[in-house]
Amino acid sequence: MVLDAQNSKISINGCILIAPSELVSDPVVSKRHPIHHMTWLYFLTQINTFDVFVDASVNCRPTGHSSFSDKVRVPAGAFGHAPPIVPRDSERGAAPWVTTPCAAPRPVPAVSCDRAPFSTCPGTMASSEDDGAVDEKETNNRRRNRGAIATAWLTFYNIAMTAGWLVLAITMMRFYLQKGTHRGLYRSIAKTLKFFQTAALVEVGHCAIGIVRTSVIVTGVQVCSRIFMVWFIASSIRQVQSEESVILFLVVWTVTEISRYSYYTFNLLHQVPYFIKWARYNLFIVLYPLGVVGELLTIYAALPIVRRTAMYSLRLPNKYNVSFDYYYFLIIAMLSYIPLFPQLFFHMLRQRRKVLHGEVIVEKDD
DSSP H/E element including 154: helix 124-179
What is the edge-to-edge ordering of all strands in the sheet holding 15-18? 9-12, 15-18, 52-55, 71-74
DSSP H/E element including 10: strand 9-12
295 belongs to the catalytic site = yes
Helix (H/G/I), strand (E/B), else coil: 117: coil
Q: From the candidates 203, 243, 257, 295, give the one annotated as an active-site residue.
A: 295
**CA dihedral sign, ordered 254, 258, 260, 265:** positive
Are 263 and 276 within 8 A, CB to CB? yes
User: How far is 13 from 51, CA to CA, in rounded Å?
Assistant: 19
Question: Which region holds residue 341: left if phi is over 0, alpha if psi is between -120 and 50, else beta?
Answer: alpha
User: How far is 198 from 179, CA to CA, in rounded Å?
Assistant: 28
DSSP H/E element including 143: helix 124-179
> In Å, what is the CA distance from 76 to each residue of 85, 86, 269?
11, 14, 56
**CA dihedral sign, ordered 84, 89, 95, 96:** positive
User: How far is 121 from 295, CA to CA, in rounded Å?
Assistant: 74
String of DSSP letters for 48-91: -BPPEEEETTSS---SS--SSSSEEEEPTTTTSSPPPB---HHH
DSSP H/E element including 12: strand 9-12
β-pair type (9-12, 52-55): unpaired
Q: From the candidates 288, 300, 312, 337, give the one annotated as an active-site residue.
A: 288
- Among 144, 148, 126, 124, which Cα is nearest to 136's? 144
Which residues are catalytic, by number?
A: 288, 295
